[in-house]
Amino acid sequence: MKELLKHLRAYILISEKEFQQIEMYFDYFEVKKKQNLNAFKNISKYNFFVVQGCLNMYFINDKGENQSIQFAIENWWMSDLLSLYRNKESVLYIQAVEDCKIVSISKDNQEKLFTAFPKIERYFRIIYQIAYGASLYRIKYLYQGSKAERYFHFVNHHPKFAQRIPQYLIASFLGLTPEYVSEIRAKHFS
């Protein structure tokens, strides 16, 4: 849980004593590569913090293909937030890209934590604001950049993701085909 404490401290002031009380609201577990944490038509019950590993959030499009929409590596949160907070069936899947170590918090525990430690609510507000802003930039690049520009922007601006995520998932995330990604990589690196 020291990773979570370190991440909290990047955004809010928190003592060791406070964290000892806070960590009781969380659960720690491990998942294997390809294991699902959230499934379509189930109601999301947890918000997941990646201690180690990589998660992929995706939906199945009209063609029956997985369409990646978000990745989470160390120190990132992931959940189908609308399902979690509105208690609705999820339209998204969350799957481990690698073996993962995860810290999770249920909606009920998160609400209790916010009441007991208001600074944690501030922490989540800050990280959600940052995530929302990043989503807007992603949408901008999906509309504005050429296919090649989208790929190289991702690779150059997110090397920690690009080095760990399989090319077919990066292609899905960027709205490209795996074949196209292979083609532009071959042209660029030859």
Query: Model confidence over 92-143: pLDDT tens digits?
Result: 999 999 999 999 999 999 999 999 999 999 999 999 999 999 999 888 888 8
50 with 97, same domain?
yes
CATH of the domain at 72: 2.60.120.10
Mean pLDDT of the 45-54 span: 97
78 with 21, same domain?
yes
Evaluate whether residue 61 is within a structural domain: yes
Question: What are the Cα distances from residue 20, in Å, to 17, 49, 152, 179?
Answer: 5, 17, 43, 49
**pLDDT of the residue at 190:** 64
- With tokens 């940052």, the residue in question is 130
User: Distance between CA 172 and CA 149 in Å, rounded?
Assistant: 15
Evaluate whether residue 140 is within a structural domain: no
CA 27 to chain centre: 18
121 with 70, same domain?
yes
pTM of the complete model? 0.92
Say whether 46 sits in a helix, a strand or coil: strand
**pLDDT of the residue at 143:** 87
